[in-house]
Structure 1
Amino acid sequence: MENTQSKVQSSTPEKQHSLEAGTYEIIRNRLQQQSDKLELRLEQLNALRKETFGTVEPQLLANERLNTGNFCIARDMFALGQYCIFGYNVHIGLRSGIQLADVFNVYRLEGNTFREAGLELLKHEKFEIDFQNLYRYYKDAFFVRFVRQGSYLYMTFQVSNNAGDIKAFKWLIRENDLQYVDARSEHEIRAVQQFEFRWKRIDRDQHRKGLHPHVSVLDRVFVETVGGDLTIKVEDNTEDGRGIYREEVLHQDQTLDDAEYLYADLGNLIVLKIRPYQEGFRYFVFNEKMQEVQRIDALADSGVLLPDGQGLIFSNGYYLQTGEYKLFESVGRGWKFESRINAPNGEDYLYSFYNQAAGQSILMAYNVITQAVETPIRCHGFAIFADGTMGYFRSEEEATKHHMIQLWQTPFGSNPVLAREHTDSYLSKLGNKEIVKAMAECREILSLTHKEDSYADLYADLVSRCTDVLDSYYWINHQETFRLGEVLQELRDTAKTAIDEYEKKLSIQRTTQSAIERVRAQALDLFRQIGQENFESVDVFVYALSELRRLKGAIVSLEELRYTDKEFIAEMMERADQYQEDLSGQCIRFLLSDTALLPYQERINQHRDELEKITSALDGKALEEAIEKTAQELQLLIEIVNNLHITDANDSTRIIDQISALFATLNQLKGGIQKKHRELAGTEAQSAFRAQIKLLDQSTINFLDLAKTGKQCDDYLTKLLVQVEELEGQFAEYDRFIPILSEKREEIYIAFDSRRKAIAEALHKRTDQLQLAAERILKGVSSRLQNFRDAEAINGFFASDIMIEKVRDIIRQLQELEDSNKAAALQTQLKSLREEAVRQLRDRQDLYLDGENIIKLGQHHFDVNVQPLDLSIIERRGALYYHLTGTDFYELIEDAELNELQEVWSQELISEDAGVYRAEYLAYRVFQQWLRLEDRQNADLEALVKEAVNQRYNEGYTKGIHDQDALLILDELVKLYETIDLLRYPSDIRAFAYLLWHHALTEADRQLLQTQLRGAGTLLRVFPNGSTFDYLREEIQEALSKQVE
């Protein structure tokens, strides 16, 4: 076989050797261990399979020579049983004719040696005539090759300079014999389909417009030929023209529409066929899992699918779904797919490609288990015999009589030999092809375990493939198949675990990359600033050197991150060291100048001036922070100077002395500012403390008002105590405030404790009232239940009656008030009342006649008195008697005082008697209410009457009658009251007041009293219920009393 250069993609990941390997690395190592275990068991199974079914390993058997009678150039060979038909062309020269032996000869393969067998196999009168006619009519005719299609063999001859101008002799193959058919069947020779997939063209719907337009291929890969290059991208981003693959095109100004785009979807692989403007097609294979692109020009000639969808094979190599590929660079263009020969063992396939111009074939043997093609065979003709022996030859450039044939042992024979001694084994029952198919799928799983984790959905694919194998082959866990299922199950479980851990790894990598990019941006920005700075002051040097030190710290921190970029860290650290070294030299030279530290001296002088202007502690704190910042900068300058490489000790001493002098001055300022701050802070703290105490007192009052439950009391108390603790922390340095805060804490606690107790008492009182109200309702309900005649009525009553709903509402209120005991007791009473009512109804229906108060005993009926026994007073025969209801008991009441009120014994209402109509009584009561109003003029009399009727329901008022009569009477009464002035008072009182005013009081007393009464009247019109002028009334009463005496 010829040597070829191949390009193989490595998929084996590097092993993790870090002692600090994380969970993900541990899982990867476990996956590799399980992969090795699976590979070992596959090798064991493969060895047993070969032992069971036998195996034919490809190996060279012999180099044999075929001898011809004339000098000729060999063209092709064909195997029929153990016979070999050898085809060739001789130079006729001056000979008048050509014989059959000048083109064909037949040999028999015996062992590894060819024996000439004569032309008896081809002896046929019609064939010989057609053969002679061919060379008679076509002077340039020559033999090309043998072509087999089904059961027919075609001997093809080219009859002109045009390769497509052929003639063919057709033979029928009958086992090991040939039967001639005709010489007119060249049209039956069909061209083999070169592509086992269909190209699909991209239309305008898949065009994506933008700054960098492209076409979308299934939304999985994106292609464009604009901007001077052909670019293949994996992101649908038209704002960015970058991609994973790029190569130049001839016409840089072409648009997206100028190119042609075709594709074929082969699972993980997408084959692209792209023709830029005015160029030929270019062919690419995009691997979606690996996110890689490989240009393969051989796809212009043919593309054949590998078994079980394992990938794609072409004339100069193959590309697998898992990402492995191999290209044989010595194979050029022009090779067409000719045939695929399947070995009976189900694992080996032979692909042949034919180059018509060169008259040569390329043979590639593919194994579905190893999923690889060894070095292809390049030859002019080949033949495979029934036992699998394959012979092939390469023609010499010069005509010769001796033609070298290589004989190889291959598995492609039509009569495989099965190992007889193992025909009853478990594997023989399964069949070789079944086992080969399973092993091929396991090999794919092994290939995935060797992938880098950049392989898209690696672990999900592992889980899926393992699950498919476990579900597809029932025998996978059998002992004789080495329990492959156990390892596959372990691999699947590990892959499932790796899915989550890989996401964590990606998250860590993104975080690390983000940190690297942040440091990169920080470093580049700092380097740019340093390059643009003039360095005319010490501040600039201090800033630059401190930032460089900070940057180096950030770079060192990157080393602690997982999955960091060591090369970037080394590069950035080297650049930072170089900048630091250059700046250090410049800084030393600058510090030795007389004006180097002048900015610090000016800043210290400014601090001294600001110290004299401080009026508050806040200003003092700000100045203290400014002084501290200056001190830090000086300290940083000292550290920087100490780290500088100063060769002259005098220079170093001089710089340090200058900085120390500045430090001494700065320390004096620190002492002054601290003293001033303490003086101002004491006064301000006192004012702040008083304000905080007032705020705390107000918060306490507000929270006490808001607290409606015990829990709220505890919550608000906690908030206030937290405020007290915060105040203690705020004023911790002032001891005189601590006792005040302690007393305040005790006061707050006592106040909320009292509030909690008051709330508890009110709650208890409220729940007691609700319970009593519910019990009164239930008592009334018990009486009403005696009137029901069936259980449905009782159930309906309990379901819809308003009083029952009221009881349930009381139960809900008790539950909301968290008194579950009372609520449960009422719930039990309500339930018991219903059950008791139903039970009593059932008893009455069983004892009483037709539900009436009559008991039937035999033929006799007895009335039952159901009146409740109650004591009452009734009028009888002009006197009052005690009476027990439901009985004949009467007893005369002898009471003189009661007898005096005999005239009202028959009065039914308190609002009406024989002399007073109840509407008049109602009008009088409302009139009395009206007199007590502050704003009588705007009073609504009708509303007052309605309110009185609603409140005095026991006085027997009928709405629409008594309220309307009372309103008419009231209206007239109010009008009369407002017009009669003093006539509203009795005449004797008016006469007595007249005598007192005109005869008992002096003129001076009358004027004084009139002034006082006028002022009192003015105020009483505004505040009619006030008691401010009660003393004036008392003085008038006293004067009247004296006059009466």
Structure 2
Amino acid sequence: MSTNQSESPDSPQKAAAGDGQELERGTYEIIRARLDSHAHELRARLDKLNHDRREVFGSIETKLLATERITTGNNCVPCDMKSIGERFVFGYNVHIGLRSETHLEDVFSVHSFRDGTFHSGSLDLITDDLFLNDFKQLYKYYKDTTFLRFHTRGPHLYMVFRVGKNVTDVKAFKWFNDGESLRYMDNRSEHELTYPPQHEFEWKRTHRDLHRHGAHPHISIEDRIFVETVGGDLTIKVEDNTDVGHGIYDEPVDDPDQVLDDAEVFYAIVGNLILLKIRPYQEQKFRYLVYNDKLQKAMRLDTIERACVLLPEDHGLIFSNGYYLQTGEWKVYDNGERDLLFERRLASPNGEDDLYVFFNRENGVYVLLSYNMIEQHVKTPIVCHGFSFFPDGHLVFFKADDDPQKHHALQIWQTPYVAEGFTPEERTDSFLYKVGNKDIVRGMAECHEILNLIGKDESYSNLYVDLVKKSGDVVDSYFWIKNEETHRLDEPLAQIRDASAAAVSEYDKVVRVRRETAAKFKDVSRRTERALADIRSRRFDHINVFVESLAESRKLRGEIVSLRDLKYIDLESVDFLETEIADSTDRLSRQCVEFLLRDGSLTPYEKRVVAQKSRIDGLEKVSAARELENELVDSATELEMLIDVVSNLKIDDATQRTQIIDDISAIFANLNQARAALKKKTQQLLAVEGSAEFHSQIKLLSQAVVNYLDVCDTPEKCDEYLTKTMVQIEELEGQFAEFDEFVVQLSERREEVYSAFDTRKVAIVEARNRRATALQSAADRILNGIKTRVAGFDNVNDIHSYFASDLMTEKVRDIVAQLTELEDTVKVGDIQSRLKTIREDAVRQLKDRQELYVDGKNVIRFGKHLFSVNVQELELTTVVKDDGMYFHLVGTNYMELIRDERLQTTRDVWNQEVVSENAEVYRAEYLAYLYSQQILQRGPAAISAELEADDAAMTVAIQKFMAPRYAGGYVKGVHDHDAAKITKAYLSVHTSAELLRYPPSARALATVFWYSFKDTEAGRLMQAKLAACGDIRRLFPDANRDQAFVSEIRSSLLSFNDSVKLIDGVSIDLAAAYLCEELCSDHAFVADHRAIET
């Protein structure tokens, strides 16, 4: 008899199945079905591989071969056996009755196994004088002596006898076993009887640092689970929440008043499993529990107290009466044996099976558990009194029987636990043989573990994440998985991995839907229970109480019915809720009818309608009218519900039904009148309030449009804010739909807004296009410069360095970034392509030059001959030669004389290299002249400031002045220095000479003209103007208002000079400027000393 579990019995999937609910085939269900299909394919291929493996390496099935019997002279209980070569030594416990002495043959017998049968032999194998003496002494001085077992340790065999009531009261006779015979050694070797570690993990004790205090304190087990023994029970929780005391597992404790510190708690973590060893306060025994982190479930398992060892490859745990796997499968066998110790482990040569031997020191019973790696389960346990293995894997054991008898049954089984040299014949030419049986077994075991996981339901934590990881690990860990000889296990494994990866996200959705469904059901269930409790406790002495309860019941029933449409809902629970609320509603409806038959039962509604109707005339706001309208609707709904209740109930007396409905109809008539009056009143209020509200909304809309247009700096923002504005307009249309004139205005406003945003968007697009075009033009210029620059490099590394770090290439990349921000991908692609092409062409051309040209110069070598190459671009220019001007093609000998009379007039400047210097004028003089003229134009104050400035300051000022004048060819440090000295000298002379700076011819012409012109009407007017101009100049020295008067005088002077022909070659401009200066001053006309003397 055994108990096992491979799935969680209360999983959501099984619960739904139990309810008879078919899950809708959504994406998750489709993926799950696909995963099952891949699992079926993997299982089929594993079966084929296992068949091939058995053919290559041979197969040894565990099966019963025969049952033999051994006859003893006395009624006895067999205890143990041991093979020595071809002979067996059997040990018994016998009751000899009145005999006082126990002989050797009463306890031991020797048999040989031939032809499948046991044959009795002599005791010569264990006959030794010293041993016989020790044997007699043992039974003589220890009256309760019984034979317990044979114990093997290396080459030594121990005959173990129990001599007291305690299992540790033993004596041991030590023999040396050479494989064919025994040699007695001593009787003092009981201290050498040891067992392997009974727990292949370490128990850790909890301490105060792991305590979590609160209303329900608990102990943290590495923050994975939380344990406590307070409040009367031992509880395991998966959440670190001390506000609640319930968990996933609980069982009562003896002392309900204990605190957290009173219990002793130990734990051990083995993969997904957490083992707990807990002794509550004042209890004698520890309690042992196993918690599975994947299933989030715990179970009591006290069997592991004595012994618990690990299965191979971290598959899980095995103990004397069962096993527990990491994936959650477990089985406990009810073999009636307790307090067994782990004795040893035997592994089959092929690595597929492991035998675990447990021994009961109390009654000498062995329990043999054989675990299969591939199938991951334990075969039927063997409970026996002693066993022994043949080298060929035959297992012989006494069938356990505590009743003394003379005829003892022995079973002979074939097992895979063979000795070296007894393995089945193998095919060495197979690929599987090259891989190795053990490696294939491990791989198949991991594949079966994946199949076991696929069989799990969704209660298994991180199921699909584990499937993705494990299937990927198997494919990566075993190279032979992808071989045809192993049936390409990688293909279904890869499909399982992909399907599991797809199921991860989909399962999260399913979990979320289930959680939401559970929450919705819980909320409706809680409110239903509360409503039912209120109905049971209420006092129904007023119609309003009935109406409220019936309305709440009807609302809840509607919500309960809507729960049926939710996925993964428990329909049985929904049916139960609906039944409860329906029964309660029916009872309440009958009570309501009985109440309505009383006189004055509807008086509260009559008074309410009258009161509501009386409030209509006093309404001043639309909001108040809306509130009153809602109140009237509520009253109508409640009255309709009353009519519905009365109509649906079976009332024997029809007159009663009619009476109730007539009373309600009368109230309805009054209510309808009130609603009609309220509607009329609301329309009147809307006409008043609507206009003011509409204009305020329009103002807000206008302000919003202005603000939106200000922040629209991209076409996308224009579209975004246009959409927002249109939504606002649509909302206003819905709000004022009852006013036709407002709808027309909103339509016009919509067109205006659309036009404004469209204009803004067009302007932004045009500006963006202009900027993009400007950036592209800049990039073109820079790229042309880069192309010219890299053409002169003579090293490939220099070209790469230039493109990696030069400022010009960085500038091009910056332009690309700006164009990217402008979303002009076409120009971005063009510039990037050109930059890449320039780089590649430069490298290619450099390599061509290095291969074809001599030393990288413009000379090509063909054999021994060298040829020069002209690399100048063919351009047209002019050249002065032989006193003539010629057309010339650069890089050629072509010359052609230019014959043009107009060109001959410019012969004087043919050899002038710059505009600022010729044979007569030094360029510093020309620079000083230009600088002085702009100083003179600013007036006397500027002239004085320049004269007072030191040479260094004037030099700096002239440097700034000449900086933008590139055509002048000025050299810093030369021409600026000379110009500063010339300028200072010139301004000094200009100031001291005053009006004598004008030439005599100009002064003479101006004097003659003025004396002939001053007495005329125009002369007197001009003199008055210039006198006023002189006053302004004296008051405001920096005011420069003479130019208008100079122009006026110049026109008169020009006419005068053309008529009288007084002086030839005189500058009219200088004469006009001189005359203006004279007339603005208050002194006589200036003259030099020679004129004064004459």
Residues 545 and 640, structure 1, Cα contact 8 Å, conserved in 2: no
Indicate how the Cα distance of structure 1 residues 532 and 418 shifts in structure 2: closer, same or farther if over 3 A, else same: same
Residues 370 and 378, structure 2, Cα contact 8 Å, conserved in 1: yes
- Cα deviation for residue 898 of structure 1 reads 6.3
In structure 1, the gaps of 5 or more residues are 775-798, 822-838, 840-846, 848-861, 876-884, 904-912, 927-1045
Please point out which of 618, 639, 647 is paired with 1:634.
639
Indicate how the Cα distance of structure 1 residues 654 and 118 shifts in structure 2: closer, same or farther if over 3 A, else same: same
Indicate yes or no: 2:498 matched with 1:450: no
* CA deviation profile, 1:173-226 (whole Å, cap 9, x unmatched): 223333333333333222332222221111221122222222111211211122
Please point out which of 105, 110, 131 is paired with 1:106.
110
1:339 aligned residue: 344
Residues 61 and 112, structure 1, Cα contact 8 Å, conserved in 2: no
Please point out which of 499, 521, 530 is paired with 1:525.
530
Query: Secondary structure at 1:561's aligned position in 2?
Result: coil
Q: Measure the CA separation in 2 of the matches of 1:273 and 1:547.
A: 52
- Cα deviation for residue 865 of structure 1 reads 5.5
Q: Where in structure 2 are the equivalents of 1:94-173 lying within 5 Å?
A: 99-124=103-128, 126-128=130-132, 130-132=134-136, 134-135=138-139, 141-160=145-164, 163-173=167-177
Residues 59 and 424, structure 2, Cα contact 8 Å, conserved in 1: no
Indicate how the Cα distance of structure 1 residues 109 and 898 shifts in structure 2: closer, same or farther if over 3 A, else same: farther
1:225 aligned residue: 229
Residues 225 and 236, structure 2, Cα contact 8 Å, conserved in 1: yes
Residues 365 and 400, structure 2, Cα contact 8 Å, conserved in 1: no
Indicate yes or no: 2:57 matched with 1:53: yes
- Cα deviation for residue 920 of structure 1 reads 6.7
- Cα deviation for residue 166 of structure 1 reads 3.4
Q: Measure the CA separation in 2 of the matches of 1:167 and 1:714.
A: 99
Q: Measure the CA separation in 1 of the matches of 2:714 and 2:335.
A: 94
Residues 639 and 664, structure 2, Cα contact 8 Å, conserved in 1: yes
1:24 aligned residue: 28
Please point out which of 78, 84, 88 is paired with 1:74.
78
* CA deviation profile, 1:862-882 (whole Å, cap 9, x unmatched): 99653448999999xxxxxxx
2:550 aligned residue: 545
2:251 aligned residue: 247
Indicate yes or no: 2:648 matched with 1:643: yes
- Cα deviation for residue 558 of structure 1 reads 0.7
Indicate how the Cα distance of structure 1 residues 235 and 702 shifts in structure 2: closer, same or farther if over 3 A, else same: closer
Residues 8 and 327, structure 1, Cα contact 8 Å, conserved in 2: no
Q: Where in structure 2 are the equivalents of 1:364-383 lying within 5 Å?
A: 364-383=369-388
- Cα deviation for residue 580 of structure 1 reads 0.7
Q: Where in structure 2 are the equivalents of 1:733-812 lying within 5 Å?
A: 733-735=738-740
1:899 aligned residue: 1006
Q: Where in structure 2 are the equivalents of 1:514-663 lying within 5 Å?
A: 514-615=519-620, 619-663=624-668
1:359 aligned residue: 364
Aligned length: 826
Q: Measure the CA separation in 2 of the matches of 1:708 and 1:90.
A: 108
Please point out which of 392, 411, 417 is paired with 2:416.
411
* CA deviation profile, 1:727-784 (whole Å, cap 9, x unmatched): 6655554445667777778899999999999x99x999x99xx9xxx9xxxxxxxxxx
* CA deviation profile, 1:214-258 (whole Å, cap 9, x unmatched): 211121121112222222222222221112222222222222222
Indicate yes or no: 2:38 matched with 1:34: yes
Indicate how the Cα distance of structure 1 residues 199 and 725 shifts in structure 2: closer, same or farther if over 3 A, else same: closer
Query: Secondary structure at 1:194's aligned position in 2?
Result: coil
Q: Measure the CA separation in 2 of the matches of 1:199 and 1:719.
A: 67
* Equivalent AA in structure 2 for residue 88 of structure 1: Y
2:206 aligned residue: 202
Indicate how the Cα distance of structure 1 residues 901 and 671 shifts in structure 2: closer, same or farther if over 3 A, else same: farther
Residues 73 and 395, structure 1, Cα contact 8 Å, conserved in 2: no
Indicate how the Cα distance of structure 1 residues 555 and 710 shifts in structure 2: closer, same or farther if over 3 A, else same: closer
- Cα deviation for residue 284 of structure 1 reads 1.1
Q: Measure the CA separation in 2 of the matches of 1:680 and 1:619.
A: 10
Query: Secondary structure at 1:539's aligned position in 2?
Result: helix
Indicate how the Cα distance of structure 1 residues 539 and 78 shifts in structure 2: closer, same or farther if over 3 A, else same: same
1:174 aligned residue: 178
Indicate how the Cα distance of structure 1 residues 688 and 218 shifts in structure 2: closer, same or farther if over 3 A, else same: closer
Query: Secondary structure at 2:275's aligned position in 1?
Result: strand
Residues 94 and 106, structure 2, Cα contact 8 Å, conserved in 1: yes
- Cα deviation for residue 715 of structure 1 reads 9.9
Indicate yes or no: 2:914 matched with 1:866: yes
* Equivalent AA in structure 2 for residue 470 of structure 1: V
Indicate yes or no: 2:269 matched with 1:265: yes
Indicate how the Cα distance of structure 1 residues 716 and 238 shifts in structure 2: closer, same or farther if over 3 A, else same: closer
Q: Where in structure 2 are the equivalents of 1:402-441 lying within 5 Å?
A: 402-415=407-420, 417-420=422-425, 422-441=427-446
* CA deviation profile, 1:808-853 (whole Å, cap 9, x unmatched): 9xxx9xx99x9xx9xxxxxxxxxxxxxxxxx9xxxxxxx9xxxxxx
Q: Measure the CA separation in 2 of the matches of 1:707 and 1:140.
A: 106
Q: Measure the CA separation in 2 of the matches of 1:161 and 1:716.
A: 96
Please point out which of 184, 187, 191 is paired with 2:188.
184
- Cα deviation for residue 615 of structure 1 reads 4.8
* CA deviation profile, 1:789-821 (whole Å, cap 9, x unmatched): xxxxxxxxxx99xxxx9xx9xxx9xx99x9xx9
* CA deviation profile, 1:935-986 (whole Å, cap 9, x unmatched): xxxxxxxxxxxxxxxxxxxxxxxxxxxxxxxxxxxxxxxxxxxxxxxxxxxx
* Equivalent AA in structure 1 for residue 3 of structure 2: S
Say what the alpha-carbon RMSD is for the aligned residues.
4.9
Residues 75 and 88, structure 1, Cα contact 8 Å, conserved in 2: yes
Deviates more, 1:255-264 or 1:420-429: 420-429
- Cα deviation for residue 636 of structure 1 reads 3.2
- Cα deviation for residue 326 of structure 1 reads 1.2
Q: Measure the CA separation in 2 of the matches of 1:629 and 1:415.
A: 93
2:89 aligned residue: 85
Q: Measure the CA separation in 2 of the matches of 1:306 and 1:95.
A: 49
Q: Measure the CA separation in 1 of the matches of 2:400 and 2:761.
A: 114
Indicate how the Cα distance of structure 1 residues 48 and 639 shifts in structure 2: closer, same or farther if over 3 A, else same: same
- Cα deviation for residue 267 of structure 1 reads 0.8
In structure 2, the gaps of 5 or more residues are 779-805, 828-871, 873-879, 881-909, 930-967, 970-997, 1011-1026, 1041-1094
* CA deviation profile, 1:892-940 (whole Å, cap 9, x unmatched): 997689634999xxxxxxxxx9x999997558979xxxxxxxxxxxxxx
Indicate how the Cα distance of structure 1 residues 108 and 415 shifts in structure 2: closer, same or farther if over 3 A, else same: farther
Q: Measure the CA separation in 1 of the matches of 2:414 and 2:756.
A: 107
Query: Secondary structure at 2:411's aligned position in 1?
Result: strand
Indicate yes or no: 2:38 matched with 1:6: no
- Cα deviation for residue 305 of structure 1 reads 1.3
2:676 aligned residue: 671
Same amino acid, percent of matched pairs: 45
TM-score (norm. length: structure 2)? 0.67
* Equivalent AA in structure 2 for residue 492 of structure 1: R
Query: Secondary structure at 2:41's aligned position in 1?
Result: helix
Q: Measure the CA separation in 2 of the matches of 1:695 and 1:163.
A: 97
Indicate how the Cα distance of structure 1 residues 147 and 739 shifts in structure 2: closer, same or farther if over 3 A, else same: closer
Query: Secondary structure at 1:101's aligned position in 2?
Result: helix
* Equivalent AA in structure 1 for residue 309 of structure 2: V
Q: Measure the CA separation in 2 of the matches of 1:597 and 1:548.
A: 21
Indicate how the Cα distance of structure 1 residues 681 and 302 shifts in structure 2: closer, same or farther if over 3 A, else same: closer
Residues 2 and 331, structure 2, Cα contact 8 Å, conserved in 1: no
Indicate how the Cα distance of structure 1 residues 613 and 868 shifts in structure 2: closer, same or farther if over 3 A, else same: same
- Cα deviation for residue 640 of structure 1 reads 3.1
1:1022 aligned residue: none
- Cα deviation for residue 445 of structure 1 reads 1.3
Residues 167 and 184, structure 1, Cα contact 8 Å, conserved in 2: yes
Residues 464 and 504, structure 2, Cα contact 8 Å, conserved in 1: yes
2:1019 aligned residue: none
